[in-house]
Amino acid sequence: MNASRIVHHRLFWPVVALVALILINTISRPTFLSITVKEGGLYGSLIDILRNSSQLMLVALGMTLVIATRGIDLSVGAVLAVAGAVSLTFIGGSSHPGDLGTVTIAVLLGLAVTLVLGAWNGFLVSVIKIQPIIATLLLMFAGRGIAMLITKGQITTINSPPYAQFASGHLLGLPVAFLVALAVTVLVAVVVRRSALGMLMEAVGVNPEASRLAGVQARGIIWIVYALSGLLAGMSGILYSSNIMAADANNAGLNIELDAILAVVIGGTSLAGGRFSIAGTVVGVLIIQTLTTSITFLGIPPAITPVFKAIVVIAICLTQSQRVRAAIGSRHRRTRQTPTAGGLGTESPIEAEKAATA
Amino acid sequence: MSVAPVLEATGLTVRYPGQLALDGVDLRLFPGEVHSLIGENGAGKSTLIKALTGAVIPDAGTLRLDGAEVSFGSPGAAAAAGIAVVYQELDLLPNLSVAENIMLGREPHRFGSIDWRRTREEAVAALAALDIFIDPASPLQQHPAAVQQLVAIARAVRTQPRVLILDEPTSSLDQSEVTELFRVIRTLKEAGVAIVFITHFLEQVYEVSDRLTVLRGGRLVGEYLTREILQAELVGKMLGRHVESLDEFELRQSEPDDRQPVFLEARGLGRDGVVAPFDLRVREGEVLGLAGLLGSGRTELARLISGVDRHGSGRLTVEGAELRPGAMRAAIARGVVYSAEDRRYGGIIEDLSIEDNILLALQAQRGWMRRASAARRRELAQSWIEALGIVPADPQLRAGALSGGNQQKVLLARWLAVAPRLLILDEPTRGIDIGAKVELQRLMLSLAQEGMAVVFISGELEELLRVSDRIGVMRERRLVGVLENDALSYEDVLALIARSSRGDDDE
Amino acid sequence: MSAESPVQSAGFRGIQTGPVLRRVNAWLPVIATVAILLLMLLAGQLYFGDFVTPRLVSSLFDNNPYLIVLAVGMTFVILTGGIDLSVGSVIAFSGLLGAQLFAAGLPAVVVLPLMVLSGTLIGAVIGIMVAVFDIQPFIASLAGMFLARGLAYVTSLKSLPIKNDGLNWLLGTSWGGGQWYTTPGVVLALLLVALAFWVLHYTRFGRTVYAIGGNEQSARLMGLPVGRTKFLIYVISGTGAGIAGVLFASYTQSGNPLAGLGMELQAIAAVVIGGTILSGGSGYVLGSLAGVLVYGLIQIAITYMSVDSWWTYIVIGVLLLVFVVFQRALSARRRG
């Protein structure tokens, strides 16, 4: 009974996939699991995975919330680039780039701008009522232009030790980037689940009309979610720019929106909105990052990674496809044809309802 | 009529999981005759049509076309046999032209290209056969619903069907448009087509149909010649008398209680084309029943007084203070709550747990930042589950997995959790079993006893009579009267519901 | 009955717009795009003095023939309410495949069709996922995008030069005299636009594309082959991407695993600017052509004004916003 419960948990297969990936790596090169201590910091493949996954984690976290409300945010990559551009341009322009105060202001400035960009997306979706995919497509385009406008098209490089700490520093032996991602993830998870935001988001995502009738203010909820997605992409941008110590408006966060969506879907959150799982997204991010790391680790050219991602996407989609499920599952239920019929009729909502509930 | 029926169904039975949607129903359709199919929601009209057109395969019963037994495995097969349907939700393409909507899939070709000139000509001819003259190249979405309806009929008629089924074609049409539609129906009738006409408007049944079949609860009530059945009699057959074993059920002790303070008052409240302006007072501690046929404006009235829809005219006050049009959240804050008619679309959030569903309105009221504590949530959910007897009593269970009656109770719990002063229940008892029904009725009474005002919409008159202090009667989007429920009889209310609109409306 | 009908049916003559006005209404978004194009040309002429020259007009087409082809394929997809994110990656795959095959010494008559077919294949994979397994186009074409980009890298990890006269001929040949010129590649792209127009407006398949975008359920009820059509539009889009890959390879004289990065977005932007609604059912392939030209003109104007190239993104973004809000207002008016 208990075993079947575990198997049916929606994170069962993703976790199995993650463990399998780690096993494959360990078998092929046992050093995969080894962790060494150098200059007060931990090093090793697993630590690399944790550090490298932090950028995607932050973006995927925001994406999870957006998708839960039946939305999508394509602009995160561009927003990420803007954050780096703003922060680094500020630091580059200041007289004390190594000053902690300068760095603090730079980070806050970067995050403030991305919060505004996220709120803009939220405005288009919740007030103007433009389809999320189109609304965020606009910023996906213009965002990179804005980032380049800020950096004047240069790849601004800076020298600011405190800023570099985000990506390369260690705290308590762990990479700072990982700790940032961990802290933010826990914070968001706690806020979303301890407040009623998570429940209301799900309600809006599953059934917008019923939520409205129950008095839920979907507009505010959706607005918050997109603003948060922008802010999280901004944090990711700070980590990215800290990693290379340069604001690269062209390549920062390129295609990260796709990886983030992928991570969310792997984690079991449906693109159709509704129930979401932050833990699932964490697993999804780790799978993608482990996959990427393994490929390098196993000596496959990293550029080929997309092929494996494609296989993962197709496999997941097929397991979620109704058609495949129907083929595997019960084939005998003649009433399966009522979906078509249910869509037609006049009284069908009622009769279908009866059929489903009685 | 000594003519043989074109299509004859006998003993049609359709079972959905856990429900008998159609129980041995007969139907005879004669050429050149308009046949109305009549029944309230859930009577089985829709299922019957699906069974006739191959959208659903009946579990039992036979279909005869021109006397020969047939069975349709798909809508395509029925269409090929000459049975055409025009659905209420038009299966048309608003982005394409009128001509294309008629001809799509059957366009004449020339040198491998669609011959647009001939396509338009044939479309014009199809429309002209119905005496309709509109520009065939104009986009369909430019035209009002009525014209779209006629275009759909033109498309159906082009296949020269033997049987044409019109599913609520008039629901969105105004009077002159209905007249036009009827002219088309008569044209087709003269051409010998057997027409099935489904509508909720009894006036129209009398105006256009020759014969009618009444269904109720998936069963056949009877087939009648329209000219031989009186309207009041017909309404009685539609609504029926539900024999329920309610011996231990104490009847509402109606005490016309004018001393109770007025909680909600509507003055001249209305909205163009939805509900005619009406006056209504709801007092604390009373159950106000709302009666009327489907489409009479019951739901629309409820949605206006609860602020769910914006009113266009008049004033709505709660305890003397005015509510702005469409101020639903303000209304909820003042204790006016509306539990929607369609549980699935407007009520239950299927993917969320019972607990989340129960707490949704309360939480929406508190705002997302002030979440009820886990302990409080559990306690609230648990207490409502117990109080209303929701089964299974697992607060973490997916609400979509519950039966209709239990979903209804969850919805009720959602609203009771915000401690409402006026509870508006739109058909809460539809589609749930008799036991749950009785429980709900008893609950309404005890709530009222505690001082809550309840507005109760139901399609079942007896139920209304049993529970209500007063009964408001709706007819044709108009509140035609509010009757005190003392010594009020079934027939009294029926008479008011069924009264022909040709008579005077003043009550 | 019919004797009295003319009077009775007076109300049923509907909105009697004249044929001209009627067409104007449907083509409004495209006309708006063309108007913007002309306004930009006019503004350029007034601002720079010597802007609108035969040379400019020629280069407007010559700069982006591959984008025209992509936009044509994307128009089919978007008209059904779908999206195809894979086309940019297909350009890289197709180009590198061609480079490897040329390097192996195969002639152009063999290589070029294979390059095109590589796109067809990716499109077919996406089409099966969408049409058979009901996977959302966004996700299905995302898989196609990963697949094509990955296969490009499998084919070669670095850029490969192509030296082939046949391929070179496509964009290397200049037809015409003086400042008016064009290339076989541009002619091919415009022929594809014409072919697409014919298919969309004069075949049942094309009308089914519009029908699916209008209302898929209705299209099914009308007995139209919805599944087959959905499959085919992704095949068309993929094939278009394959052709665009050939043109791009001819343009750059190489295959590059990074080729076409983000080009799917440019194609989508051109289609939307051209007046096609992303939710499907409304739009014209000629509008998409105009959209590509607007896109190209913005690029040229920005070079002319010697402001920095990133303004292209911002201007395109703003233009997209204007169009999306414009379409939203139009659809709100139609419904209201």
- What DSSP letter does each residue of B341-391 carry, written as one string? S-HHHHT--TTSBHHHHHHHHHHHHH-TTSPPPHHHHHHHHHHHHHHHT-S
**Inter-chain CB proximity A142 and C217 less than 8 Å:** no
Q: Is residue C109 part of a domain?
A: yes
pLDDT at A39 over 80: no
Flag the least confident range among B231-240, B395-404, B408-417, C58-67: B231-240
Shortest Cα–Cα distance, C229 to chain B (Å): 13
Please list the residues that pair with B353 across neighbouring strands: B398
Of B194 and C136, the structure prediction assigns the larger pLDDT to B194
Max Cα distance, chain C (Å)? 80
Distance (Å, rounded) from C-alpha C237 to C-alpha A355? 41
Average pLDDT, chain B: 84
Pick B17's closest partner by Cβ from A196, A344, A355: A355
**CATH number of the domain that residue C145 is part of:** 1.10.3470
pLDDT of residue C22: 55
Q: Is residue C245 part of a domain?
A: yes
Q: Measured between beta carbons, which residues in chain C are less than 8 angstroms from residue A131?
A: 278-279
CB B475 within 8 A of CB B292: yes
Q: Is residue C143 part of a domain?
A: yes
**Inter-chain CB proximity C13 and B100 less than 8 Å:** no
- Residue B366 burial (10 A CB sphere; 0-12, 13-18, 19+): middle
**Inter-chain CB proximity C207 and B107 less than 8 Å:** yes
Rounded to an integer, the average pLDDT of C174-178 is 79
Using a pLDDT cut of 90, give the percent of chain B over it: 27
Pick A351's closest partner by Cβ from B47, B89, B363: B47
Rounded to an integer, the average pLDDT of B255-259 is 60
**Inter-chain CB proximity C221 and B91 less than 8 Å:** yes
Rounded to an integer, the average pLDDT of A119-147 is 89
Shortest Cα–Cα distance, A128 to chain C (Å): 8
Subunits next to C (3 or more Cβ pairs <8 Å) are A, B
Flag the least confident range among A346-350, B307-311, B401-405: A346-350
Q: Which helix (H) or strand (E) holds C6?
A: helix C5-8
φ, ψ of residue A299 to 5 degrees: the values are 80, 15
pLDDT at B195 over 90: yes
pLDDT one-digit tens code per residue, B130-185 = 888 888 888 888 887 778 888 888 888 888 889 999 988 876 677 777 888 898 89
Q: Is any Cβ of chain A less than 8 angstroms from the Cβ of B338?
A: yes
Q: Is residue C46 part of a domain?
A: no
pLDDT one-digit tens code per residue, B488-503 = 777 788 888 877 544 4
φ, ψ of residue C263 to 5 degrees: the values are -70, -25
pLDDT at A350 over 60: no
Q: Measured between beta carbons, which residues in chain C are less than 8 angstroms from residue A304?
A: 150, 153-154
Distance (Å, rounded) from C-alpha C242 to C-alpha C91? 6
Flag the least confident range among A73-87, B25-39, B73-87: B73-87
pLDDT of residue C280: 87
- pLDDT winner (highest mean) among A92-96, B40-44, B134-138: B134-138
Of B168 and C283, the structure prediction assigns the larger pLDDT to C283
DSSP string of C167-182, one letter each residue: HHHHHH--BSSTT--B
**Inter-chain CB proximity C224 and B104 less than 8 Å:** yes
Pick A194's closest partner by Cβ from B363, B371, B414: B371
Of B224 and C310, the structure prediction assigns the larger pLDDT to B224
Q: Measured between beta carbons, which residues in chain C are less than 8 angstroms from residue A128?
A: 325, 328
Max Cα distance, chain A (Å)? 75
Q: Measured between beta carbons, which residues in chain A are less than 8 angstroms from residue C83?
A: 133
Cα–Cα nearest to C245, from C155, C114, C134, C129: C114
Tell me which residue range forms the domain holding C242.
28-37+53-329
Those residues with Cβ within 8 angstroms of residue A155's Cβ, 6 or more apart along the chain or in another chain: A246, A247, A248, A249
Distance (Å, rounded) from C-alpha C122 to C-alpha C240? 11
pLDDT at B191 over 60: yes
Using a pLDDT cut of 90, give the percent of chain A over it: 32
Average pLDDT, chain C: 86
**Inter-chain CB proximity A213 and B87 less than 8 Å:** no
Q: How confident is the model at residue B506 (pLDDT cuts 50, 70, 90)?
A: very low
**Inter-chain CB proximity B352 and A202 less than 8 Å:** yes
**Inter-chain CB proximity B79 and C223 less than 8 Å:** yes
HEC assignment per residue over B189-232: HHCCCEEEEECCCHHHHHHHCCEEEEEECCEEEEEEEHHHCCHH
Distance (Å, rounded) from C-alpha C168 to C-alpha C164? 6
Q: How many contacts, defined by CB atoms under 8 Å, are there between A and C?
A: 137
**Inter-chain CB proximity A304 and C154 less than 8 Å:** yes
pLDDT one-digit tens code per residue, C113-138 = 999 999 999 999 999 999 998 888 98
| Mutant choice from B40, B149, B238, B360 vs A, greatest count of A C-beta within 10 A | B360
Q: Is any Cβ of chain C less than 8 angstroms from the Cβ of B133?
A: yes
CA distances from C266 to A141, A341, B262, C293, C294 (A): 9, 40, 63, 12, 11
Rounded to an integer, the average pLDDT of A339-352 is 30
Shortest Cα–Cα distance, C183 to chain A (Å): 30
pLDDT one-digit tens code per residue, A305-315 = 888 888 887 88
pLDDT of residue B90: 65
Of A186 and C321, the structure prediction assigns the larger pLDDT to A186
Q: How confident is the model at residue B257 (pLDDT cuts 50, 70, 90)?
A: low
Q: How confident is the model at residue C331 (pLDDT cuts 50, 70, 90)?
A: low
**Inter-chain CB proximity A306 and C257 less than 8 Å:** no
Interface of C with A in 146-205 (CB under 8 A): 146-147, 149-151, 153-154, 157
Q: Measured between beta carbons, which residues in chain B are less than 8 angstroms from residue A346?
A: 45-46, 87-89, 167-168, 198
pLDDT one-digit tens code per residue, B389-439 = 887 888 988 888 887 778 888 999 999 999 999 999 998 877 666 667 778
- pLDDT winner (highest mean) among A33-47, B380-394, B445-459, C87-101: C87-101
Rounded to an integer, the average pLDDT of C174-196 is 89
pLDDT at C88 over 90: yes
Q: Is residue C7 part of a domain?
A: no
Q: Is any Cβ of chain A less than 8 angstroms from the Cβ of C317?
A: yes
Q: Is residue C13 part of a domain?
A: no
- pLDDT winner (highest mean) among B50-64, B467-481, C190-204: C190-204
Of C256 and A270, the structure prediction assigns the larger pLDDT to C256
Pick B88's closest partner by Cβ from A195, A340, A346: A346
Pick C316's closest partner by Cβ from A141, A153, A308: A141
**Inter-chain CB proximity B180 and C202 less than 8 Å:** no
Q: How confident is the model at residue C14 (pLDDT cuts 50, 70, 90)?
A: very low
Number of domains present in the structure of chain C: 1
Nearest CA in chain A to B168: A346
Q: Measured between beta carbons, which residues in chain C are less than 8 angstroms from residue A314?
A: 129, 143
Q: Is residue C155 part of a domain?
A: yes
Q: Please state whether the predicted TM-score (pTM) of the whole model is above 0.90.
A: no
**Inter-chain CB proximity B176 and C223 less than 8 Å:** no
Q: Measured between beta carbons, which residues in chain C are less than 8 angstroms from residue B114?
A: 201-204, 207
| Helix C285-304 vs helix C311-335: crossing angle, to nearest 10 | 150
Flag the least confident range among A99-113, A150-164, B117-131: A150-164
Cα–Cα nearest to A22, from A287, A303, A278: A287
**Inter-chain CB proximity A310 and C153 less than 8 Å:** no
Using a pLDDT cut of 70, give the percent of chain B over it: 91
Q: How confident is the model at residue C312 (pLDDT cuts 50, 70, 90)?
A: confident
Q: Is residue C3 part of a domain?
A: no
Which residues on chain A place their C-beta less than 8 Å from a C-beta of chain B? 194-197, 199-200, 202-203, 206-207, 209-217, 220-221, 224, 274-275, 334-335, 337-338, 340-341, 344-358
